[in-house]
């Protein structure tokens, strides 16, 4: 005889939870894969911008005909704005590559262009008053701060916070295993009460009850199998679409580029500067082409 609380749990919790647990796990898996792909795409877009910046920095100093400036701030501003202009404005204007039209649209949908503009402005704010007092600044910290505090790159399509979402996706494999085991116990709990009404003197009836119980147990075990399968699949997705490795790479590339610029300049004078590029949603005014910008699409 079940007590009222156990009876309530059996009728209103276990039965309903056992029915929706497997569909919920499968739906969660597909949602997790989608958000993992979105986070990875955003990180790859950040990495692409850092790679383009690094390429222009190295190309600039390898070219003996480049017009060099002595100011670290002015050189960094010129090359960052050139990277931004050629990566977004110039590409969207001419669309010379086959996928430029599609990329221009996706960059705006996923706010990649806005995020790059924030990165440019925040980096320039941080390096504006660096002093050459014999101790080189920690460009790695500046790079991390520029990306960690970016209000656009910190959210997927500007809505879902990347940090908590990424942590949740990382623990999904463990949750799937727990969910599968939980589903198995729910199935067993659901089938055990049937054994209480078994009449051992009636062999046929007892056999029927046992057969039904075994069927329910086998169905309950399937939940554990599905949970393990989803856990393995989600682990593979997290490994193949790991945003952490991409983030580590982009921060190192960006900081290395800043270090090269710092070592190749002698002052940090501000001079007469123009505003850094604005995010795409902040106004229709186009970004002015930076001094020395390459006319060709990067």
pLDDT of residue 170: 93
Q: What's the predicted TM-score (pTM) here?
A: 0.76
pLDDT in tens, 95-116: 555 445 555 666 776 778 888 8
- Please answer whether residues 168 and 39 qualify as being in contact, where contact means their C-beta atoms are separated by less than 8 angstroms: no
Query: Over 60: is that where the pLDDT of 190 sits?
Result: yes
Provide φ and ψ at 125, rounded to 5°: -65, -40
Percent of the chain residues topping a pLDDT of 70:
74
How many CA atoms does the CB half-sphere of 194 hold within 13 Å? 18
- Please answer whether residues 285 and 83 qualify as being in contact, where contact means their C-beta atoms are separated by less than 8 angstroms: no
Residue 155 three-state SS: strand
Per the document, the length of the chain is 298
Specify which residues 160 forms β-bridges with: 156
Residue 280 three-state SS: helix
Residue 267 three-state SS: strand
Q: What is the DSSP string of 42-62?
A: HHHHHHHHHHHHHHHHHHHHH
Residue extents of the structural domains in the chain: 4-169+242-279
Grade residue 77 by pLDDT with cuts at 50, 70 and 90.
very high
Q: The dihedral of CA 248, 253, 257, 263: what is its sign?
A: positive
């Amino acid at each position: 005889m079940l007590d009222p609380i156990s009876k309530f749990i059996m009728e209103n919790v276990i039965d309903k939870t056992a029915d929706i647990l497997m569909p919920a796990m499968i739906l969660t898996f597909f949602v997790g894969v989608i958000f993992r792909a979105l986070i990875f795409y955003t990180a790859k877009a950040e990495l692409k911008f850092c790679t383009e910046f690094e390429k222009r920095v190295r190309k600039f100093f390898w070219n003996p005909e480049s017009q060099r400036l002595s100011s670290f701030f002015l050189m960094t501003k010129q090359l960052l704005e050139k990277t931004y202009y050629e990566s977004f404005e110039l590409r969207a204007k001419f669309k010379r590559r086959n996928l430029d039209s599609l990329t221009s649209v996706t960059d705006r949908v996923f706010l990649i262009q806005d995020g790059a503009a924030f990165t440019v402005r925040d980096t320039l704010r941080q390096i504006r008053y660096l002093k050459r007092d014999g101790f080189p600044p920690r460009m790695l910290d500046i790079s991390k701060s520029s990306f960690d505090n970016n209000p656009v790159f910190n959210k997927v399509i500007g809505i879902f916070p990347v940090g908590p979402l990424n942590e949740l996706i990382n623990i999904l494999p463990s949750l799937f295993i727990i969910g599968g085991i939980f589903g198995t116990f729910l199935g067993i709990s659901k089938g055990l009460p049937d054994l209480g009404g078994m009449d051992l003197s009636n062999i046929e009836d007892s056999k029927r009850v046992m057969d039904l119980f075994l069927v329910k147990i086998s169905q309950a075990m399937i939940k554990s199998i599905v949970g393990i399968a989803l856990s393995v699949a989600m682990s593979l997705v997290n490994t193949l679409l790991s945003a952490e490795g991409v983030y580590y790479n982009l921060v190192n590339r960006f900081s290395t580029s800043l270090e090269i610029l710092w070592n190749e300049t002698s002052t940090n004078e501000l001079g007469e500067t123009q505003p850094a590029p604005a995010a795409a949603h902040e106004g229709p005014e186009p970004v002015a082409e930076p001094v020395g910008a390459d006319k060709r699409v990067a």
